[in-house]
Amino acid sequence: MSEGLIRHITKPHPVTGVTNSKLGVWCFLASEVMLFGGLFSAYMVLRTGVSDWPRGSSILNVPLATLNTMILITSSVTMVMSWASLAMKDIKKYRIFLALTVLLGIAFLVVKSFEYGHKFEHHHFPSTNNFYAIYFTLTGLHGIHVLGGILINLYFLFPGSKLWETSPEQLTGRIEAAGLYWHFVDLVWIFLFPVLYLL
């Protein structure tokens, strides 16, 4: 679609100061903040209402969660580098950094699957107690968001990258919007890690 049909695709809107895609992503992320905010609030209510709430560090795998934290932080860097590569008109580096972002996202899910597998082997399920209910709900929902980010990035890595030939500014804007989502997913994990695993 051309700029004539839908305005403010590549140029910021004079009122909002951002492009339509960026405004749309910020609105979507606001709804996501409310979703995770509600779940974090439920966690706080449950935790403060139970005197014998277990410490996550004693029953969860902190080294694996630390590894996953490093993986996601690194993936945020590669996501920024993919956008910066497009801004510098280097499509090859863009593809390399976006592919690394996808691979790091997959690595996160693989590590998480090992952690889940260990819990299931020891018969720990969401129905076991309130701690595991909130643990599986928060980390499972986060994992679904990571999977969604991987699929988005895979699209922009393969069929979506064809937009570079016709509208490089538009592709750059789309990667910036995808990056905002990816950074949000990483930020949620930065909150989940200490709350569930360390406190």
The pLDDT score that the predictor gives to residue 48 is 87
Which range (79-93, 121-135, 181-195) has the least confidence? Answer: 121-135
Q: Is a pLDDT exceeding 80 seen at residue 18? A: no
User: Residue 142: in which H helix or E strand, if any?
Assistant: helix 130-157
> Which residues, at least 6 apart from 9, have a Cβ–Cβ distance to it below 8 Å?
1, 3, 19, 20, 21, 170, 173
The pLDDT score that the predictor gives to residue 9 is 67
Question: pTM score, two decimals?
Answer: 0.90
- Is residue 83 within 8 Å of 172, Cβ to Cβ? yes
Q: What is the pLDDT of residues 62-74, one digit of tens each?
A: 999 999 999 999 9
| Ordered structural domains, the chain, with CATH | 20-198 (1.20.120.80)
Q: How many angstroms separate the CA atoms of 38 and 35, rounded?
A: 5
Average pLDDT for 175-188: 96
What is the percent of the chain where pLDDT is above 90? 74
**DSSP code string of 93-138:** HHHHHHHHHHHHHHHHHHHHHHHHHHHHHTT--TTT-HHHHHHHHH
Q: What is the pLDDT of residues 97-145, one digit of tens each?
A: 999 999 999 999 999 999 999 999 999 999 988 899 999 999 999 999 9
Q: How confident is the model at residue 21 (pLDDT cuts 50, 70, 90)?
A: confident
Q: Is a pLDDT exceeding 50 seen at residue 2? A: no
In the predicted model, what is the mean pLDDT of the chain?
Answer: 91
